[in-house]
Structure 1
Amino acid sequence: MNTNKLQSFAAESRTSLMKAVRARIDAALEPNSLAQFDSPRAYRELTEEIRRNGGGEQGRAKTVERHAYRWFNRIIALRYMDANEFTGMHVVSGEELDNPNALPAVLSAAKRGEFEDEVFGGVGAKTKVLPTIQALLDGGKPSNDPQGDTYGLLLRSYCDYWHRFLPFMFDDAGAADEILMPADLLAKDSVLRKAVEVMSVADCVGESDEGNVEIIGWLYQFYIAERKTQVMAGFKKSKKAGADEIPAATQLFTPDWIVRYLVQNTVGRLWTQNHPESQLHNTWEYYIDPVGEDAGKILKIDSPEDLTVCDPACGSGHMLAYAFDLLYSIYDEAGYSANEIPGLILEHNLFGMEIDERAANLAAFALTMKARGKYRRFFRKGRQVQPNVQRITPEYFADDEVTELNDLYHVTFDTDTWNTYQNADTYGSLIQPPAELVSLLPLAGAVEYSETEGGQAQLSLISDQLRDRANLVLTQTRYLSRQYAAVVANPPYMGSGNMGNELKKFVTDHYKDGKVDLFAAFMLRNLQLIQPNALLGMITMQSWMFLSSFEGLRKSLLANNAIETMAHLGSGAFDSIGGEVVSTTAFTIRSYRINTTGIYIRLVEGKTETEKIQLFEKALISMKRED
C-alpha cells in the first residue's frame, strides 16, 4: 500500500471538496437563488444548520467542513465496497474496477435502462427518481450536464439505500444533499476519479481477500493532517485546545505491529490463560509467553462471548478491527458456525468510544466491513448486527426539561446529574457517569413504552425529542459505566499547557495523578474500565516512566496493578509523522498486584519502525530459545 499516494489524495480531496461545498453554499444563500425556489426544504435545512453552527462566517465554515468530509467518507466507502464486490453494480467504480477513466457502472447501466430493484424497486421516493433519470438521459428534461445530473441522482439514491445498512457512514443528511453535492464528480481530476485510481483493488482487498480496512484509517489521518497542522501552529502561539481542536490535535494512526502486540497480549493472553489447550498463540507473531503467573488470579473467560474488548478513544477503529480478526480465530477454534461468528463478535465483544463524529463513523464502517468480509450474506435481513461504536456526544437539559425527566423516570436528580455530558465533546470517555444515571440503565429505551396507570398520559406531555436525548445519555452511560475484559488504546497525547481551561480543570479534579498529560489521565481511566484481573494494553508517551511530575501516577499504578510486558519504543515508532516527534512505550498491565517481574524489551536503538520490528522479533526468538 502506497501511503504517499493516499496522503496526497486525502489532502487534495479535502481542499477540493471544501471548495466545492463552499461554492454550493454561497450560491444557495445568494438573494433569490434557485435553491430557494427549486429546493425550499433543502434551503431551510441548510440555513438552520448554519445557524446551529454559530451563524455567519463561522456557521458557514463549520457546515462546509462537515459536509465536505461527509462526501469524502461516502466516496471512499463506496470505492472500498466496490473493490471488494460488496455492492451489486459498482457505484463509484467502472465495470473495470481499476480503470479511473471508466464511467461508474451504475451510470453505464442506467444509460442501458438497467436499474437495481433493491435500490429503485417498490414504492416511494426512489421510484419517482427513475422518470427524472430517464428524462435526463433521453433529452426530455433540459440540462447543461445531463450525464452529471443523472449520476448525481444515482449516487444520492445509492447513499439512501446504504443508509439502511450503514447509517453511520451514509447518514441521513436530509434535503440538504440536494444542494450540497459537489459538482463535476465525473470530471477527469475529480475526487471520485482519484479515489478509483489511488484506492487500488489490491490495496482495498488485501492479502486475505477479505478486505483491508487499514486503508480507511490511513485516509482519515491524512485527511485531517492539514487541520492538525493548523491546531499545532496555534499551540505555538499560546492558543488552547477546546472541543473543536482536540480531535485533530490528538488523532494518531497506530502502526499495525503495535496494534497486534497489544491485542495479542491482552485479548489473546486472556483466552490462552483460560484455555491452555488452545494452540492459537503459536500463530500470534508478537505474543509474549507469560512467566510465573498465578493461575488463580486470572479473569475467568468461559466462552468467546466473555472477551469484551473496549477502545475508549477508538479513532478510526484500528485496534478494534484487528481484535475482530483475533476473536474470529478464537470463535472458529471453539467450534462456532462461520455464519454466526461475525454477528456474535459485533454484538458481544467489541466496544468503541470516540468524540470525533467522523472517526466514530469510520470505526463502525471498518468493523462492519470486517463482518461482511467474513460472511457475504451479512447484509441480508435478520443477519446484520450494528457495531457497538458510540460517539460520546454533548447533551444539555434546561431546568424545565430536568423537571420533566425527573417526572418521567420518577427520580429527583439535580441538574448537574442530568447534564453529566454537557461537555462530552471535550471530556469524552474520561467522564465517569454518576451512580444515579447508572441506576436508570434498566429503563433505557423502555420507559417510552410504559403501560403503567397514567403512563401514556404522562408520556404524551413529553416530546419524543426529549426522550431520545435522555436515551442517548443512558446509552453513553452504559458504555462508560461497564467494565471490560480487556481495554486496548492509543490515547490522546496533549500536555496540560495546551489544554483549554475547561479540560485542564476537569483532568485536575478527576485525575490528579494524570493531570500533566491527557494520555496519563487515560491510563487511570482505562484501569477503571477493566474488570479485576483483566488486562489493559496501551501505547503512550514514555515520559510517565521517568519524569518527577508523573511520580504519583507511577506509585498508584504499581501499588495496585502489575506490568506484564513492555516494549520501550523511544523515538521513531511512527514513521508517518516523522518518528522523532514522539517518544513512546507500549505495555500491558493486569489489574491485580502480582509479585512477579514483567518482561521488558528495549527497542530504543531502532531508528525506524522497521528497525524496531526487527529488534522486537529478534528478542522474541531469543526468549523462545531460552525456554
Structure 2
Amino acid sequence: MMDKETRNSLQNATQKARSILTSDFEEQLSATFDIMASGEIAPKGGAHLSKSQVAIRDRIVAAIEHKRAVGMKPSEAVQDYIRDAAFTTLNRFAALKMLEARELVRECITRGDQSNGYVEFIGAAPSLRLLADSEGYRLFFECIFDELSTEIKVLFDRRDPASLLWPRKLAFDTLLEVLNAADLNGVWGEDETIGWIYQYFNSREDVRRARYDEKGKPKPPQNSRELAVRNQFFTPNYVVRFLGDNTLGRIWYEMRQGNTRLKDVCEYMVRLPGETFAEMNEEVSFDVVPDGLSYEESWHRPVRVPFRPKKDPRSMRGLDPACGSGHFLLGLFDLFLIIYEEAWEDANSPAFDETGKTLREEYATLEELRRALPGLILKHNLHGVDIDPRCAQIAQLALWMRAQRAFKDFSVPRAERSKIRRSNIVIAEPMPGEKDLFAEFVRGLKEDRLEELLRKALAIPPEQTVRATKAMAETLAELIETVWEGMKLAGEMGTLLRIEQDLTRAIEKGRAEWDDRLPLFRVAEFGISDVKLGKLARVLPGGGDDFWTKAERLVFCALSDYASSATNGRAARRRLFVEDAAQGFALVDLVNKRFEVILMNPPFGAGSSVAKPVFERQYPRTKNDVYAAFIERGVSLLNSRARLGAITSRTGLFLSTFKKWREEILLKEARPVVVADLGMGVLDGAMVETAAYCLEVV
C-alpha cells in the first residue's frame, strides 16, 4: 500500500492536472465554440469555425442538452461536461503511464515527444513532426487510443463526447510535466494508483459543498453527484483481502472441504483448529459459541462445517454494488484464478449449467484454460455497479490491466492473447430524459416494424411466417414505459432501486398478451415439420424470465436501428439516448441475477434527498442509514448460503436506531460469521470508525 507521503504527492498532482484541464477546456468552450460557463449557448457557432469544428460543436451541444434532459440547470450541465472531459483526459494519460510501466504500450509519455514510441511513429511519416501545435503528437495518441478502445472501450473510445476537447499545447505540455514528475515515478507500476486518482480528483471544495450547506451546517446529499463525492474512499488492500478471503475464499474452501491452495493463499481466512466437514445430507445447526468459554476454549472447540456442494466456477457470480475503482473486483479476480484451475483439475467438478460441460471438457489442457481464463473471469464472475459514471472508465481499465498481468504470468505472448471485450461494469443512471426522443422511439414500434424486429432479434427461420398485432405492440411499449418510469431514481439509488417489483407485473401482463391470448406467431398449421416446430419453440416466449429476455432483445435491436437512422446533430442526440438506455437495461438485468459473493464499501449516512420518499418506502427497516440498506439489499441478491462482506461504519453493531437491522437481517436473514472492529483511520479522509464483517445467508 502507498505511504502517506506518496499519496499526498499523487493527490497534489491530480488536483493540479484537474485545474490545468478544466481551465483550458472552459476557455476553449467560450472562446472557440461560444458555449459559456453560465450555460448560455449561442444558437450556432461563429463563422471562424472550420467544418470539423462545427461538427464538434454540434456534438458538444448535444451532450450538454442530454445532461439538461435529466434535470440539470444550464450552468450545471456545462460544468458537468467540462468535468467529464477533464476527468477522461486525465484518466487516459494516467492510464498510458501505467501501461508504459507494464510494457503494454511503447513509451509514449515519459519523455514527451522524444519518447521511443513517437520517434518510431514519425519515422514512418517524418512530415508529422512539422505540423503546428504538436498535431503530429496528437495523431500518435489518437492512434494509440483507437487501438486500446478495441478492449478498453469506455475510457479510450474517441466517439465519447468527453473526448471532443483536446488540451491546447501549453496545457498539454504542463499536464505531461505533472505526470512525469520525479516524485511520482514509483506510483505508475502500482495497481491502486488509478483508484487514488479517482478519489483525489474531487477537490476539497467539492467535498465541502457536498457535505455542508452555505452556512457550514451538515446537510444530506441533494443528488447523486453529492452522494458520490461524499463517499469516495479507497478501500485499503488488507481490508479487500480480509473480506475476499472470508467470503469467496471460504466458500471455495468449504466446497473443497479444505483441499485447496486457498488455505495458504488466503492469509486472512478465519479457520478454527477444531473444524471438521459434514457429509452430504448431514444436518448441521448454525455454530453458536457457548457462554462461559475462555478465548482459548472458544478457539479450539469442535465445530462441524455444513456440507457445501461444489459448483462450476462460471456459475459463481461476484458483485460490488458500489464498485468505485473496482478494488474489490480485483481481489476476487486473484482468487478466481486459483479456483478455476482447481476446478479444472478436479475429476468430480460439476458441469456448467449453460453449456452442460465441465471445464475439463471445454478446455483439453491447462494451457488452453489459462489462455481463456482472464476473459472467463471478466465475463462470468465479476460484476460492478456505481452511480458515478466515471467508475466505468476506472474499473474497466483496472480489470483489463489485471487480465493482462494474468496473461503475462501464464507466459501468453501479447500477439496470442484473446481480446478482453467484455466486463460487467454498470453505471446506475436513469433512462435518458429526452421525452421527444422516447416518444419517437416508442412510436416506431408499430405492427409492421415489430414483425421486422421479431425476425431480426430472435433469428426466426426465413420460411416462417411472422405476424404481429396491435395489442402486442402496445404491451411491448407498456413494458418499455414501465422500465423508463421505474428507472427515474437509478442515479440516486443504484442497486437499492427495486425495479424488479414493477417489472414483474409488467412482464406478466405482457406475457399474457403475447403468449396466452395472442400467440407470438400466427402460423398456418399445415406443412410444418417437426424440425420447424422445434425451431419455433425456441423463440416462443415461455415463463417470465424468458419473456423478458426476448422482449429485451427486441428493444436492443430497435435501439440500434434507431441510433443509426439519423444524421448530423440529431444522430449525436440519438446515440447518447441509446447508450444511456443500454446502461439502464444492464442494471435491470443485473438486479435480476443472484450472486455467490457480494463485497462492498457502501455509502454511509443519509441518502439523496431526491430519492428519500422512495428509499424510505422500500427500506422501512434500514432507512436510517444508506449502508444498512445496502446490506439489506445485498442479502436479497445472494444465493442460499452465499456470503456478503462489507466495510461500514461500526455504529450498526450497537446503536438503537439499527435494532431492526440487527434483529431482522443480521440474526434472521444473514448471520455474521466473522467481524473485525477496525476503528478510526482505515479509510483515508473519512472521519468514521469502521468495522469489516462477513455475513452468510441463512
TM-score, reference length from structure 2 = 0.71
Secondary structure at the counterpart of residue 662 of structure 2: helix
Distance 2:198 2:170 in 1: 23
Which one of 185, 188, 191 corresponds to residue 204 of structure 1? 188
Q: Is the contact made by 2:21 and 2:167 (CA closer than 8 Å) also made in structure 1?
A: no
Matched, 1:425 2:491: yes
Structure 1 partner of 2:533: none
Matched, 1:192 2:228: no
Structure 1 partner of 2:591: 480
Secondary structure at the counterpart of residue 428 of structure 1: helix
Question: Cα–Cα, structure 1 residues 68 and 467, in superposed 2: closer, same or farther, change >3 Å?
Answer: closer
Structure 2 partner of 1:230: 209
Structure 2 partner of 1:570: 679
Structure 2 partner of 1:537: 645
Matched, 1:322 2:331: yes
Distance 2:653 2:7 in 1: 32
Q: Is the contact made by 2:678 and 2:691 (CA closer than 8 Å) also made in structure 1?
A: yes
Matched, 1:363 2:395: yes
Instruction: Give runs of aligned pairs for residues 525-564 of structure 1, distance below 5 A.
Output: 525-557=633-665, 558-564=667-673
Question: Cα–Cα, structure 1 residues 33 and 254, in superposed 2: closer, same or farther, change >3 Å?
Answer: farther
Structure 1 partner of 2:147: 161
Matched, 1:494 2:472: no
Distance 1:358 1:246 in 2: 14
Structure 2 partner of 1:260: 241
Q: Is the contact made by 1:299 and 1:485 (CA closer than 8 Å) also made in structure 2?
A: no
Secondary structure at the counterpart of residue 338 of structure 1: helix
Secondary structure at the counterpart of residue 386 of structure 1: coil
Structure 2 partner of 1:221: 199
Question: Cα–Cα, structure 1 residues 419 and 280, in superposed 2: closer, same or farther, change >3 Å?
Answer: same
Question: Cα–Cα, structure 1 residues 351 and 301, in superposed 2: closer, same or farther, change >3 Å?
Answer: farther
Question: Cα–Cα, structure 1 residues 249 and 280, in superposed 2: closer, same or farther, change >3 Å?
Answer: same
Secondary structure at the counterpart of residue 268 of structure 2: coil
Matched, 1:273 2:305: no
Structure 2 partner of 1:621: none
Structure 2 partner of 1:387: 423
Shift, 1:468, TM fit: 6.7
Query: Is 327-336 or 417-426 further displaced after alignment?
Result: 327-336
Question: Cα–Cα, structure 1 residues 102 and 471, in superposed 2: closer, same or farther, change >3 Å?
Answer: closer
Which one of 304, 312, 337 corresponds to residue 303 of structure 1? 312
Q: Is the contact made by 1:409 and 1:447 (CA closer than 8 Å) also made in structure 2?
A: no
Q: Which amino acid aligns with 1:32?
A: G
Matched, 1:44 2:58: yes
Q: Deviations over 1:189-228 (max 9, x none)?
A: x2223223368565433xxxxxx32111111111124322
Distance 1:280 1:375 in 2: 21
Distance 1:41 1:236 in 2: 45
Structure 2 partner of 1:513: 621
Question: Cα–Cα, structure 1 residues 10 and 186, in superposed 2: closer, same or farther, change >3 Å?
Answer: closer
Distance 2:582 2:588 in 1: 10
Matched, 1:29 2:33: yes
Shift, 1:4, TM fit: 1.8
Shift, 1:161, TM fit: 2.5
Q: Deviations over 1:292-333 (max 9, x none)?
A: 687465653323223321111111000001111121122234
Question: Cα–Cα, structure 1 residues 203 and 414, in superposed 2: closer, same or farther, change >3 Å?
Answer: closer
Query: Is 422-431 or 383-392 further displaced after alignment?
Result: 383-392
Structure 2 partner of 1:447: 554
Distance 2:397 2:620 in 1: 36
Q: Is the contact made by 2:372 and 2:418 (CA closer than 8 Å) also made in structure 1?
A: no
Secondary structure at the counterpart of residue 31 of structure 2: helix
TM-score, reference length from structure 1 = 0.78
| Identical counterparts, % of pairs | 23
Structure of larger gyration radius = 2
Q: Deviations over 1:36-82 (max 9, x none)?
A: 55621112112222333347433321211110111011111111111
Q: Which amino acid aligns with 1:509?
A: R
Structure 2 partner of 1:93: 110
Secondary structure at the counterpart of residue 224 of structure 2: coil
* Structure ranking higher on relative contact order (CA contacts 8 Å, 6+ apart): 2
Matched, 1:289 2:271: yes
Q: Is the contact made by 2:85 and 2:165 (CA closer than 8 Å) also made in structure 1?
A: no
Structure 1 partner of 2:86: 68
Distance 1:289 1:161 in 2: 47
Distance 1:444 1:72 in 2: 39
Distance 2:620 2:161 in 1: 47
Secondary structure at the counterpart of residue 405 of structure 2: helix
Structure 2 partner of 1:600: none
Q: Deviations over 1:265-314 (max 9, x none)?
A: 00000100000211321222211115768746565332322332111111
Distance 2:556 2:484 in 1: 21
Q: Is the contact made by 2:375 and 2:403 (CA closer than 8 Å) also made in structure 1?
A: yes
Shift, 1:357, TM fit: 1.1
Instruction: Give runs of aligned pairs for residues 99-248 of structure 1, distance below 5 A.
Output: 103-111=114-122, 113-114=123-124, 134-138=126-130, 143=132, 145=133, 148-173=134-159, 177=163, 179-184=165-170, 187=173, 190-197=174-181, 202-205=186-189, 212-226=190-204, 227-234=206-213, 236=217, 238=219, 240-248=221-229
Q: Which amino acid aligns with 2:250?
A: R
Q: Deviations over 1:160-192 (max 9, x none)?
A: 2222221111133458745443433563xx222
Q: Deviations over 1:472-512 (max 9, x none)?
A: 4432211111110010111111235xx31x32212211111
Distance 2:48 2:110 in 1: 31
Shift, 1:588, TM fit: 0.5
Which one of 97, 101, 106 corresponds to residue 83 of structure 1? 101
Shift, 1:403, TM fit: 6.9
Q: Deviations over 1:253-275 (max 9, x none)?
A: 11110110000000000100000
Q: Is the contact made by 1:91 and 1:106 (CA closer than 8 Å) also made in structure 2?
A: yes
Query: Is 379-388 or 365-374 further displaced after alignment?
Result: 379-388
Secondary structure at the counterpart of residue 169 of structure 1: helix
Structure 2, unmatched stretches of 5+, are 35-44, 283-305, 346-365, 446-471, 508-543
Secondary structure at the counterpart of residue 53 of structure 1: helix
The count of aligned residue pairs is: 540
Q: Is the contact made by 1:394 and 1:422 (CA closer than 8 Å) also made in structure 2?
A: yes
Shift, 1:520, TM fit: 0.8
What is the RMSD of the two structures over their aligned residues, measured on CA atoms?
3.3
Distance 1:76 1:107 in 2: 17
Instruction: Give runs of aligned pairs for residues 458-473 of structure 1, distance below 5 A.
Output: 471-473=582-584
